[in-house]
Amino acid sequence: MSSAENAEPTTTYEQAREELADVVRRLESGGLTLEESLTLWERGEELANLCQHWLDRARERLAAAAPADDAGRA
């Protein structure tokens, strides 16, 4: 992987989620050309991947903070 692929995104989870919600609203409202719809869909995919990145990182941080021995839990 290149260093660019390892770099943290500059968009926060909250920013990406809000923009994704806006993309969905615009697509659901209709009235767009096919090209506009495809462009929005592609942006939505990028934003969904970005949100997933942040959620994965949060999950990793939680796992790292959890006790190493969870075997005793019911």
Cβ atoms within 10 Å, residue 16: 20
Residue-by-residue pLDDT tens, the chain, 74 positions: 444 555 678 999 999 999 999 999 999 999 999 999 999 999 999 999 999 999 999 999 999 998 865 555 55
Domain with 17, as residue range(s), is 11-65
Say how many residues make up the chain.
74
Instruction: Measure CA of the first residue to CA of the last residue in the chain; give whole Å.
Output: 40
Whole-angstrom CA distances from 32 to 12, 26, 29 are 28, 8, 8
pLDDT of residue 43: 98
For residue 20, tell me if it sits in a domain: yes
> Across 1-74, where does the E strand assignment appear?
none
Position 70 scores a pLDDT of 56
For the record, the structure tokens of 35 come out as 């090209």
The pLDDT assigned to 8 comes to: 76
The CATH number of residue 34's host domain is: 1.10.287
Count of the separate structural domains present in the chain: 1
